[in-house]
Amino acid sequence: MINNDKTLIVITGPTAVGKTKLSIEIAKELNTEIISADARQFYKELKIGTATPSGEELNQVKHHFVGHLSISQYYNAYMFEKDALRVIEDLFASKDFVVLTGGSGLYIDAVCKGIDYLPDVDKETRKNVKHIYDKQGLAGLRKILLKADPAYYRKADLFNPNRIMRAVEIYMQTGKNLSEFHSLSKPMQRPFKIIRIILNRPRQELFERINKRVDDMIEQGLIEEAWDLFLYKDYNALNTVGYKEIFAFFCNHYSLSLAIEKIKTNTRRYAKRQLTWFKKYNDAEWISIDQPGEKEKIMRTIDSMA
């Protein structure tokens, strides 16, 4: 049964669109707290390269699931679903609204409608799949996935090595494919209202913001941060845009200028994949935030939908 007095406000959108600033403003307006659904910001060692909210921003509104893990810890969307729902339930004991924000669509879906249980993969299987990736690249993994699970292959993000490796790991571990696991469960109805708001900007403006963010990260010390993490470059948490390109520079695969350009290119591609994912949210309200009055637009949307 849905409690119409309790509402989860989901504020999402592509990377660099401006989610952090607006989510803090909305949470302050609603006198509530923020659940982070940005999988890259879960890890305390990753700060600059993941655009983690600053100390000042974290002090303005309490954030949950920012820097709560170490890069050595295994974590997935199923685990996040259980953890986030416990925090949301606790917050709803005293608050009518909770803000969920981030750009990781899978983790947002886990909270809003549930995610299929997937078995843990042992270290040996994970090591074997990583070896295939290292030797054959994404092409090798895609070949295995196409044969093992053509249904998932047709809808998978084929440029996301983490997702492809995970699908191959599940198959190698269990002999079953992701599509079989997905067919075993249905979306859960949550006992609270959900309002989805997707922030967007004109494409050129968004890309300019992405490019500037990367330049800012370099100035803030991304190269030094990556160097401190270089020994752990094979950890799954570090197989992400911003770090893997700098690691390639350290290994003399790229010049520094090319590595920075690749971070910008790969981040823009990631933003486009995010937008594609968000288009499946038929009940979401899209808000362009390239004009003044963004907070007021969002509050009007919340008032009309709450």
Q: Give yes or no for residue 74 having a pLDDT over 90.
A: no
Residues of 181-197 as b/e, b for ≥16 C-beta within 10 angstroms? beeeeeeeebebbbbbb
How far is C-alpha 214 from the chain's CA centre? 18
Query: pLDDT band for position 185 (50/70/90)?
Result: low
- Beta carbons of 35 and 64 less than 8 angstroms apart: yes
What are the angstrom distances between the C-alpha of 109 and each of 51, 76, 196?
A: 22, 13, 11
Helix pair 19-30, 294-305: axis angle to 10 deg: 50
- Identify which has the larger pLDDT, 232 or 236: 232
Residue 186, pLDDT score: 59
| The domain over range 123-182 is classified in CATH as 1.10.1050.10 | no
Within 10 angstroms of residue 75's Cβ, the number of other Cβ atoms is 17
50/130 Cα distance (integer angstroms): 23
User: What residues pair up with 98 in beta bridges, in sequence order?
Assistant: 8
- Beta carbons of 101 and 35 less than 8 angstroms apart: yes
Q: Give yes or no for residue 88 having a pLDDT over 80.
A: yes
Instruction: Give the whole-number percent of the chain exceeding pLDDT 70.
Output: 96
Residue 117, pLDDT score: 66
Residue 175, pLDDT score: 82
User: What residues pair up with 7 in beta bridges, in sequence order?
Assistant: 97, 193
Q: Could you give the residue range(s) of every CATH 3.40.50.300 domain in the chain?
A: 3-114+191-305
Residue 182, pLDDT score: 65
* Across 114-139, average pLDDT: 83
Stated pTM of the model? 0.82
Class of domain 3-114+191-305: alpha beta
Residue 292, pLDDT score: 80
Q: Is the dihedral of CA 84, 67, 241, 290 positive or negative?
A: positive
Nearest partner of 206 among 157, 295, 134, 274, judged by Cα: 274
Q: Could you give the residue range(s) of every CATH 1.10.20.140 domain in the chain?
A: 123-182
- Contacts of residue 178, defined as CB under 8 A and 6 or more positions apart, other chains included, come to 118, 149, 152, 167, 170, 171
What is the chain's mean pLDDT, rounded? 91
Q: Give yes or no for residue 231 having a pLDDT over 90.
A: yes
DSSP secondary structure letters along 87-131:
HHHHHHTT-SEEEEE-S-HHHHHHHHH---------HHHHHHHHH
Residue 170, pLDDT score: 85
Q: Give yes or no for residue 184 having a pLDDT over 60.
A: no
